[in-house]
Amino acid sequence: MTRFTAPIAEQIWDMKYRLKEADGTPLDVSVEDTWRRIARSLAEVEKEPEVWADRFYTALEDFKYLPAGRITAGAGTARSVTLFNCFVMGTIPDSMGGIFEMLKEAALTMQQGGGIGYDFSTIRPKGADVKGVAADASGPLSFMDVWDAMCRTIMSAGSRRGAMMATMRCDHPDIEDFITAKSDAARLRMFNLSVLVTDDFMEAVKTDGSWDLQFDGQIYHTVQARDLWNKIMRATYDYAEPGVIFIDRINAANNLSYCETIAATNPCGEQPLPPYGACLLGSINLARLVSDPFEDAAALDEDALQELVATAVRMMDNVVDASNFPLAAQAAEAQAKRRIGLGVTGLADALLMLGLRYGSDEAARQTEDWLHAIARAAYLASVDLAKEKGAFPLFDADAFLASGAMQHMDADVRDAIREHGIRNALLTSIAPTGTISLYAGNVSSGIEPVFAYAYTRKVLQKDGTRTEEEVVDYAVQMWREKFGDRELPDYFVNAQTLQPLEHVKMQAAAQKWVDSSISKTINCPEDISFEAFKDVYMEAFETGCKGCTTYRPNDVTGSVLSVAEEKKSDAPEVVTSSEDEPRQPHGDVIYMSEPLDRPKALEGQTYKLKWPDSEHAIYLTINDIIVGGHRRPFEVFINSKNMEHFAWTVALTRMISAVFRRGGDVSFVVEELKAVFDPRGGAWVQGKYIPSILAAIGGVIEQHLISIGFLEGEGMGLKSDPQAAVVNLGGPRGPACPSCGQYDMRMIEGCMTCGSCGHSKCG
């Protein structure tokens, strides 16, 4: 018997969370061993560790409480790792020495796998005077490029993929360059970008007022606020960035506004943090708490919810003491405030089990009620911890209770805090849960709607073949088991069929009782008008959201997910060529009984392949032979001045040429090369994501085979051009996953996430 309800859940556990020896030998024999390992580790700081280990195990059992992946993978392993997901780094000084000291701290943090957020508003604008050196400043964007390169370098050293968030104030003189930075598909790919939007700016937008761009008290430019807002909107409409963070609202609501100022968030935006702040995340799986699903008596067990929340808060508080930190300043910040971020996952599935349509007024009210119950339980549990272990060191009752978030908290909770203090300064946050949601049986992620009811994924087997399996949403699978093939009711909706303002309604409903913030993607159709798109952001501001992230399919980031690929001309540059032979009809594959000797002269073409971040280009020469009146590939030469490529390019040249000379259907060479992914990450080339340099070579060969008529078109004629069939979805296929190579990347909770392997751009 297994606790896993879907094959993908067990695969995720084995790949990401199961403790193994260095040689791959499993130490966690079962998922119960994983739960026991986590429970014992987090109970070590308790006075009665065995008692609490059993209670923690019960919370983890059957995926009811899901600690963030860093905790699940690292707790109890005796490895020197951080259990915190991500950090906001220190304030960047406006000096060369200070900037590069911050770069070093970022590198040390990312080396341990932490995602980082930075506010680049503190760096003087481009063209400003640099005193003492008779030079002009290069501006914050130039230093962001340095950070971006650092992140790629850390990844190339074999470290866990990093993620970064860069923010900039809406009144910084370089804000317009910041807004348009990612219109270049090759620039700042390691960053998410968000503009820090103030209340004054939003008021100026509404009244069509002027807006000063200034730094250090000096006004550099004056623009119309509405024009600047439209530039932000146009950029995110065209290529999904930058996001928008309502920074004044965040600081006004912050429980700790009396002792910190926030200017940045973690990479996905759900944790606004002060300098050196860290986010500690975990989620209550609401889908596991519903009794009598799809029946008239369906209900979420609120007593079980309250007990589970209290146990989860205690576990997370213990993580503060159990974790390592990359920097001493991060440890000090965590200890002083003990903030945690308890959230939810499986919300959409839970709503479906109650017969509620995600995005409806009824679903929004139910969401608000559930999040209110969680907030009450979390705050009261933290008060109980304060009675037992003491309040967080910087607690000040009057100042704490005067904050925006606490003013609308229930009176009995406020009274308890005033009398006994509180252990954790902030307690709730809704983080991306893409991977842990798959691990929990493919429950809906965070507070997102169901992405797709079902889709197929290709699974790489040990013998190198790929098999297909269906991945079904948790609630849909439960419906099938209960009712067989009965048609899904009308209240089953998914991310692609919802209206954007319905997404906003759900985010706003949840935000009322979340003291940090929420990571959520508002999916917009490709044909949404620009004016309607802007209305989404204005509605998010007016209804109390702390930020807004949308995703509209575009040429830079691709579609969310699809079943077919639009044919675009991405052919590499042709450097030299012979006279073209007449193009032959596709389908006449020539099989040769014996390898042919090479003629003295062959006709072919040489292609130049420029891989980003590589100093030297790669040149591919593909020569053809005429057999039976048809032109077919005969040999390949791969050359580069980069001597690091020498050995593998020679090997590839010999192997591919040998295959070509044997004849037959050699299109599998293209297929195999295009399926190669680089675990360090691929690159964007001509607006298209290529998972590795070998995949890029495969693409060049494919274009050549198309040009000579051997293949009809891109992805055509191959035995297995990777693609995912998704229920209720269509449109152009998005980029391949840089981890597993599958075309299953989705924008969920503000982060590109792979449905096949759980890889997340945001770590």
Q: Which residues are tagged catalytic?
A: 266, 268, 270
The beta-strand segments (E) located in 185-328 are: 191-197, 210-215, 218-224, 243-246, 264-265, 272-273, 278-279, 281-285, 290-291, 299-300
User: Smallest Cα–Cα separation from 691: which of 750, 647, 757?
Assistant: 757
Helices and strands, counts by H and E, the chain: 24, 30
* Residue 429 φ/ψ, nearest 5 degrees: -165, 150
* Residue 264 φ/ψ, nearest 5 degrees: -155, 165
Q: What Rg value do the Cα atoms of the chain yield, rounded?
A: 27
Alpha carbons 709 and 588: distance in angstroms, whole number: 9
Alpha carbons 147 and 188: distance in angstroms, whole number: 9
Alpha carbons 201 and 69: distance in angstroms, whole number: 38
- Collapse the DSSP code of 555 into the 3-class scheme (helix H, G, I; strand E, B; otherwise coil) and give the result: coil
Residue 598 CB-half CA count within 13 A: 14
User: Smallest Cα–Cα separation from 477: which of 352, 374, 331?
Assistant: 352
Residues linked to residue 523 through DSSP beta bridges, in sequence order: 551
Alpha carbons 513 and 428: distance in angstroms, whole number: 8
SS (H, E, C) 288-302: HHEECCCCCCCEECH
For the record, the structure tokens of 619 come out as 């040149």
Pairing relationship of beta strands 191-197 and 243-246 according to DSSP bridges:
parallel
Angle between helix axes 302-322 and 361-389 (nearest 10 degrees) is 50
User: Smallest Cα–Cα separation from 118: which of 170, 189, 167, 187?
Assistant: 167
Q: In the chain, how long is the greatest CA-to-CA distance?
A: 93
Alpha carbons 164 and 116: distance in angstroms, whole number: 5
- Collapse the DSSP code of 675 into the 3-class scheme (helix H, G, I; strand E, B; otherwise coil) and give the result: coil
For residues 439 and 12, the answer to whether their CB atoms sit within 8 Å is yes
According to DSSP, residue 127 is labeled: T
Residue in this structure with the two tokens 């606490």, named with its chain if needed: 406
Q: Is the peptide bond before 612 cis (omega within 30 degrees of 0)?
A: no
Exposure class string for 384-410: b at 16+ Cβ within 10 A, else e: bbbeebebbeebeeeebbebebbeebe
**From the centroid of its chain, how far is CA 727?**
22
Alpha carbons 675 and 666: distance in angstroms, whole number: 15
Residue in this structure with the two tokens 């990347």, named with its chain if needed: 745
Other Cβ atoms less than 10 A from the Cβ of 588: the count is: 12
Residue in this structure with the two tokens 């590839």, named with its chain if needed: 652
User: Smallest Cα–Cα separation from 206: which of 658, 535, 482, 561?
Assistant: 535
Exposure class string for 80-108: b at 16+ Cβ within 10 A, else e: ebbbbbbbbbbbbebeeeebeebbebbbe
The beta-strand segments (E) located in 405-480 are: 454-460, 466-472
Q: How far is CA 88 from CA 60, 273, 278, 405, 554, in A?
A: 29, 6, 6, 21, 30
For residues 18 and 28, the answer to whether their CB atoms sit within 8 Å is yes
Residues linked to residue 547 through DSSP beta bridges, in sequence order: 245
Alpha carbons 452 and 498: distance in angstroms, whole number: 12
Which strand (E) or helix (H) includes residue 609? strand 603-609
